[in-house]
Amino acid sequence: MKLPQSAASPTMYFVGVTTGQSSIMKLFPLWAEALGLGGPKIVGIDIAIHAEPKVYRDCVRFIKEDPLSLGALVTTHKIDLFNAARDLFDTLDPYATTFEEISSISKAGGQLAGHAKDPISSGLSLEAFVPPGHWKKTGGHALIMGAGGSALAICSYLTHPDRGDDVPRTIVITNRSPERLESARQLLGRIDTDVRFEFRLCPAPADNDAVLAELPAGSLVVNATGLGKDRPGSPLTDEAAFPEGGLVWELNYRGALDFMHQAIRQQAQKRLHVEDGWIYFIHGWTQVISEVFHVPIEGETFDRLEKIAMELRNGSETKGAAQK
């Protein structure tokens, strides 16, 4: 990791793995103009996956001590950053302490604040494509491949008391690491819910295939592993069979998206709804920008930013198609 120079003007950071490839680098200036923020900068900080704790501490300390560094969105490193640097934060929100992760770094009143925004942004994203009453109607389960911050956030939303009995009967979480699975088991054990959690060790894609084959019709299948974006591949093999009438959510919106393409090949036959991570991306960023710049982003304001994002994406796709 190479830390940036001290900010010469108001700056927000993107702490990730391959930040330069993200659409936010083009989108942020358009959003900042629409919000009347006065031309702040966005700078990427690339950190290798599961870096040493000192790397995360140096990153957080830089943002905390640099006057014009206003905050950051954290992706991929949310849990590792929390574990390494939680003591550097003056305040942490309840989601951050419950799930032991930080996705939003901001400053207020001279204090450094850490928030976990994924439970909110994942819920808003799910509401965009999961029909009301889906779980009661279908009896479907949820399979979340990956046991990181995004997986925990989705579990939090799916089991929230406000949902009443419109929840999956079972949520299955798979991961290649027994340590990550055990951590997820302990953190999700703090949720008061009748939904049954299963934790399955799946070191190879074929193991995820076997879990997938057990799902009833109407189940939700989520790729929360990062495979297909930061790392190549998919958590499934090409022989995997998706559940009839299932909902398939690829959390990534860029990269090879192998998992999403596996689902698309079965979409017509299995009557699947296939969703990528674009709306999740929009909600995730607007939630954090709202914290960093202390500006409400909801209602008509959110709709305006969503429209700008969709225009940028559609323009990029049209340009890409023309270049092929």
**pLDDT tens string 2-31:** 899 999 999 999 999 999 999 999 999 999
Tell me: pLDDT of 141 over 60. yes
CA-to-CA dists, residue 280 to 15, 210, 303, 315, angstroms: 17, 28, 14, 19
CA dist., res. 154 & res. 139, Å (int): 18
Tell me: pLDDT of 36 over 90. yes
- Considering the entire predicted model, what is its pTM? 0.89
Of 65-69, 149-153, 268-272, 301-305, the one with minimum mean pLDDT is 149-153
Averaged pLDDT for residues 117-137 = 94
Tell me: pLDDT of 321 over 50. no
CA-to-CA dists, residue 259 to 108, 249, 271, angstroms: 40, 9, 17
Tell me: pLDDT of 323 over 60. no
